[in-house]
A and B are shown apart, each in its own frame.
Chain A
């Protein structure tokens, strides 16, 4: 089945130690998104790629970066994780950048910062 895959499902890192989360998709969608969801809160968009074009949300901290080496894969890099970065990180895709396009979400990676 076509899907959005996130690995690992759980990631533990140390305070200040860089960490990378990965997302892959078999939907061949043009747009890939990263959301952050803290405990008991709604998901919040960090940034998205439309093909190779990167679009950062205005309030996304500089500590968060992203890479999309090809259509199928997208990575979220946290350069120096702080305790406040502990959250669920959700990857999503959509076929295109039309506002009625459905977004398909992966299961998420839960990040714990020690």
Chain B
């Protein structure tokens, strides 16, 4: 499994963009990068995923570097409800297992 490395915690001011980095230097060519988040006492929630192109949906944007060794999840206008642990996950090719790392605890500050 490709391993991911994330900072343990980050703060972001409400209304500002939150940029959450993830390092996945051993990623294979057919492995996707996924982001999930877990708000306190709730189940994880899917945010976005990508292979090599940048992706955007109603929740966030995902920027993947050209060499695919790192990526950044961007929440364009963070709200207090975005306070959560954010997990960057590289999916094992051919399997649907999610191997969660330690994640980044994002705190949005009023």
Interface residues of A (CB under 8 A from B): 4, 31, 42-45, 48, 90-92, 94, 96-108, 110
Contacts and interface: CB of A to CB of B under 8 A. Distances in A.
A97 B93 CA distance: 11
Given A42-B101, A100-B91, A108-B41, 5 more contacts: A31-B96, A45-B97, A98-B96, A99-B91, A107-B43
A105 B96 contact: no
Contact of A105 (B32, B45, B102, B103): B45
Contacts of A110: 41
Nearest to A57: B97
A48 to B, nearest CB: 8
A29 to B, nearest CB: 11
B93 A99 contact: yes
Contacts of A107: 41-43
Nearest to B91: A99
Contacts of B32: 99-100
B49 interface: yes
A99 B43 CA distance: 20
Contacts of A91: 43
Contacts of A94: 96
B52 to A, nearest CB: 13
Contact of B44 (A31, A98, A105): A105
